[in-house]
Amino acid sequence: MSEKFDVIVVGAGPAGNAAAFTLASGGMKVLQIERGESPGSKNVQGAILYSDALEKIIPDFRDDAPLERHIIEQRMWVLSDDAYVGSTYRSAAFDQPPYNRYTIIRAQFDKWFSGKVQEAGALLICETTVSGLAMDGERVAGVHTDRGGTVYADLVILADGVNSLLANRAGFHPELKPRDVALAVKEIHFLPEPTIESRFNVQPDQGVVIEMAGNITQGMVGTGFLYTNRESLTIGVGCLLSDFKTRGVAPYRMLEDMKKHPSIAPLIDGGEMKEYCAHLIPEGGYKAVPQVYGDGWLLVGDAAMLVNSVHREGSNLAMTSGRLAAETALELAGAGKAMTARNLAAYRTRLENSFVLKDLKKYQRLPQVFDHNHQFFTDYPELLNGAAHTLLTVDGVDKKTKEKQVRKSFVRRRSPFGLMGDAFKLWRAFE
């Protein structure tokens, strides 16, 4: 193939599809290359779809996108070994269309999204791995594929995911650091729809997400989750890779232990496990975002480390960055300008002006705070659950004494100075 394209998009995940769709809709000649047998077959996510980011690309996506359940209830659990303290937000307003978020199954969703990309006019080639970037001096001029061909384009958008070997090998950014990525493992368990609905107190089409922190991560910085799909549940846990490395706990063991927690086991009981996945999640935040543009290239989605780990958002940042990259390219092409680093810098500006980098910037201190203060994932969950247990056990001890016991447990574990310091650190991190 010696054909030349306006843009080559590497990868058919949310970022790549958003970019390719926007470019093709804007009239550009787009080639998209995907290494999986079909789009989605290499992609892993929890998965929650946030409607807003997709609405801005495909406004009527609800007509035919494969959506599982819309979320009407969000639970946050802080777990000790045998208990949890939780908060729940459930709202009838979240049950009013258009719905704000849905559970999805990525293999199905990505295939659907890719269909839209092809309808818009992009050419998709699957089962093809891009083996390297074709350089013309300092400029990216195209890609080499494992089918032996080289394809050329004015712009290459790298939407090749968290590992982004291409950008790394081209020297655009250094290798990932273990403390900048979380390793998440998850399983999907199938159960009859009525069983899911009665266990989670929802009607057909309604869903629940449970986000969890505490002892399930065995002292590491991380979180767990449980999402309701139509006729399945996804359950998973993820922690900083640097913690997995030093603690010596196998990720699948952590997941198995989590599934046995007395608050979790009844929810998944009797489910048939049909798939086990693992994935790295970029969690380094704002400071870990690499250079995202250069001569003839742009980075989008996970490849650009665009994940808001605090709010468990990633695919919406991916889609938005893909769209913004495409809009940048369309604007340059429309003005007859070349895809040079200088001109493509407008993409970074668009990211800075959107929620994507605004949110990452807001929480830029958080990854370091958590990495250096494991007590938020160890001491506090136990203290909170211990306090709840003390206060809620009726045993003839007067309440004033109980309050004193709770106060003492906190001070003993963290010291007055430690408590104040932790409060300050959290305030600064979330400020």
Partner 1 sequence: MIKVEEKLFQNRYRVDAGRPHIEIRDAAVCQHRCVSKPCTFCCPAACYTREGDGRVTLITDGCLECGTCRVICNEHSNVQWEYPRGGYGILFKFG
Give residues with Cβ within 8 angstroms of 154, minimum separation 6.
5, 6, 7, 296, 333, 338, 339
Min separation Cβ 272 and partner 1, Å: 9
Contact status: 45 vs partner 1 (CB under 8 A): yes
Contact status: 344 vs partner 1 (CB under 8 A): no
Q: How far apart are CA 272 and CA 267, in angstroms?
A: 13
Min separation Cβ 282 and partner 1, Å: 11
Strands (E), 51-160: 70-79, 84-90, 101-103, 123-125, 130-136, 139-145, 150-158
Contact status: 41 vs partner 1 (CB under 8 A): yes
* Residue selected from 76, 123, 126, 310 as contacting partner 1 according to rule CB under 8 A: 126
Question: Is 215 strand, coil or helix?
Answer: helix
Q: Are 385 and 378 in contact (CB under 8 A)?
A: no
Per-residue string for binding with partner 1, 226-245, x by CB under 8 A? ------x--------x--xx
Q: Are 275 and 331 in contact (CB under 8 A)?
A: no
Name residue 263's amino acid. Answer: S
Residues from 177 through 206 that contact partner 1 (CB under 8 A): 177-178, 181, 183, 185, 187-188
Min separation Cβ 180 and partner 1, Å: 9
Min separation Cβ 189 and partner 1, Å: 11
* Residue selected from 64, 82, 119, 256 as contacting partner 1 according to rule CB under 8 A: 256
* Residue selected from 86, 115, 149, 251 as contacting partner 1 according to rule CB under 8 A: 251
Q: Are 100 and 33 in contact (CB under 8 A)?
A: no
Give the DSSP letter of residue 409: H
Min separation Cβ 28 and partner 1, Å: 24
Q: Distance between the two ends of the chain, CA-based, in angstroms? A: 53
Min separation Cβ 270 and partner 1, Å: 16
Give the DSSP letter of residue 2: -
Binding interface with partner 1 (CB under 8 A): 35-37, 40-45, 47, 105-108, 110, 126-129, 145-147, 162-163, 165, 175-178, 181, 183, 185, 187-188, 232, 241, 244-245, 248-253, 256, 273-280
